[in-house]
């Protein structure tokens, strides 16, 4: 059984500790997708982070494997290691060049969504004016499909996400998103989006962030409740887990260079408060999820699909061996 965490965040800094990744492994995770940059991060920062993370993984081969193929994940699990992939949160690091998708793929990026809350030249963010996928965006979707990278719609505007799912020839995922029907935050997704994702053969992975679960102190039961909603709506094959735990490290400043305005990326009008940051499910949630999923009516085989089997299936369809 492979447990797949579709999204986690270390500090966007090349010297970030991988202690949290080791903790996820100890909690039962076999594969984790780590964010290496978002729309607010300049390309030099993104490249430095990728280089630093790759060096950390290479320096500890007894613990970590940078996964290029599904076989790498299975072998890592058999060898008692955790497999790792990278993801990008937004298209701005692509510099409006579809050719950049293949380059990032070579560096270990296996998953991308096109907008982080705000609009860019490729796609719409969920906290901005709706326009739909741009002409460049349609080309970018094709580039992602051709590269063998997972096409993600987290943080993306609703109309734009539907365009992406229409444009993609491969299954599309939400790596960390929750049903709007259960928690009324603008980052959450509608039943229409959930159904459209399932129609591509994709997976909606549930975030463990307090704002999106509708719980001040989120836990495994909250995540399981949201997973049950997805499975009831579109079937057990379309729910997964992407806890979106954001790990912080004292002494590391990963603030993007330049004129960075947190209030722009996380606007107060959308319900964010810079003085009251969100809370996250603890790492040990992974140990509690099997029992929590059982409590909402799933048997062991169904829970195994949610905990990783569904994402493994989609990656097998999308990634190039």
51-65 pLDDT, tens digit per residue, is 999 999 999 999 999
pLDDT of residue 31: 98
Read off the pLDDT band of 67 (50, 70, 90). very high
Read off the pLDDT band of 117 (50, 70, 90). very high
In whole numbers, what is the pLDDT of the chain averaged over residues? 97
The domain total for the chain is 1
Strand partners of residue 291: none
Residue 175 has pLDDT above 90, yes or no: yes
Question: For residue 85, how many other CB atoms are within 10 A of its CB?
Answer: 25
Residue 321 has pLDDT above 80, yes or no: no
Read off the pLDDT band of 320 (50, 70, 90). confident
Determine the average pLDDT of the residues in 130-141: 98
Short-list 211, 230, 202, CA closest to 281:
211
Residue 98, CA distances (Å) to 39, 121, 163 in order: 16, 12, 18
290-312 pLDDT, tens digit per residue, is 999 999 999 999 999 999 999 99
Sequence-ordered list of residues with C-beta below 8 angstroms from that of 247, at least 6 positions apart, any chain: 8, 9, 10, 11, 20
64: containing domain: 4-318
pLDDT of residue 193: 98
Are the CB atoms for 223 and 292 separated by under 8 Å? yes
Determine the average pLDDT of the residues in 84-112: 98
HEC profile for 261-319?
A: CHHHHCCHHHCCCCCCCCCECCCCHHHHHHHHHHHCCCCHHHHHHHHHHHHHHHHHHHC
| Coil, helix or strand at residue 71 | helix
Determine the average pLDDT of the residues in 66-78: 97
Distance CA 216, CA 254 (A): 26
- Please tell me whether the overall predicted TM-score, pTM, comes out greater than 0.95 for this model: yes
Residue 6 has pLDDT above 90, yes or no: yes
Element (H, E) at 110: strand 109-113
220-254 pLDDT, tens digit per residue, is 999 999 999 999 999 999 999 999 999 999 999 99
Per DSSP, helices labelled H in 29-181 are 43-59, 70-78, 99-106, 135-147, 158-167
Alpha carbon 124 to chain centroid, angstroms: 17
Residue 57, CA distances (Å) to 24, 39, 54 in order: 15, 24, 5
- Here the CATH number for the domain that contains residue 169 is 3.20.20.140
Q: Crossing angle for the helix pair 220-234 and 285-295, nearest 10 degrees? A: 50
| Coil, helix or strand at residue 80 | coil
Alpha carbon 199 to chain centroid, angstroms: 19
Read off the pLDDT band of 288 (50, 70, 90). very high
Give me the phi and psi of 160, to 5 degrees please: -65, -40
Read off the pLDDT band of 258 (50, 70, 90). confident
């Amino acid at each position: 059984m492979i447990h797949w965490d579709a999204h986690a965040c270390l500090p966007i800094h090349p010297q970030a500790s991988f202690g949290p990744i080791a903790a996820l492994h100890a909690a039962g995770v076999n594969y984790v997708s780590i964010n290496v940059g978002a729309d607010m991060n300049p390309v030099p920062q993104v490249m430095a982070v990728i280089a630093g993370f790759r060096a950390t993984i290479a320096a500890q081969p007894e613990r970590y494997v940078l996964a290029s193929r599904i076989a790498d994940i299975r072998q890592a699990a058999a060898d008692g290691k955790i497999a790792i992939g990278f993801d990008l949160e937004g298209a701005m690091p692509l510099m409006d060049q579809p050719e950049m998708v293949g380059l990032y793929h070579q560096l270990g990026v296996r998953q991308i969504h096109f907008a982080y809350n705000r609009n860019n030249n490729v796609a719409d963010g969920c906290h901005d004016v709706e326009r739909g996928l741009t002409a460049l965006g349609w080309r970018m979707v094709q580039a992602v499909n051709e590269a063998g990278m997972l096409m993600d719609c987290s943080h993306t505007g609703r109309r734009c996400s539907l365009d992406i799912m229409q444009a993609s020839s491969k299954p599309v995922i939400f790596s960390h998103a929750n049903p709007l029907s259960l928690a009324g935050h603008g980052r959450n997704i509608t039943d229409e989006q959930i159904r459209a994702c399932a129609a591509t053969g994709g997976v909606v992975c549930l975030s463990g962030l307090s704002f999106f679960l509708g719980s001040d102190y989120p836990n495994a039961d909250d995540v399981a409740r949201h997973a049950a909603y997805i499975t009831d709506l579109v079937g057990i094959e379309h729910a997964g887990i992407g806890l979106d735990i954001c790990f912080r490290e004292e002494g590391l400043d990963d603030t993007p260079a330049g004129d960075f305005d947190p209030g722009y990326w996380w606007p107060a009008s959308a319900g964010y408060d810079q003085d009251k940051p969100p809370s996250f499910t603890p790492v040990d949630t992974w140990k509690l999820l099997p029992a929590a999923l059982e409590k909402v009516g799933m048997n062991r085989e169904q829970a195994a699909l949610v905990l990783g089997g569904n994402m493994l299936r989609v990656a097998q369809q999308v990634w190039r061996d």
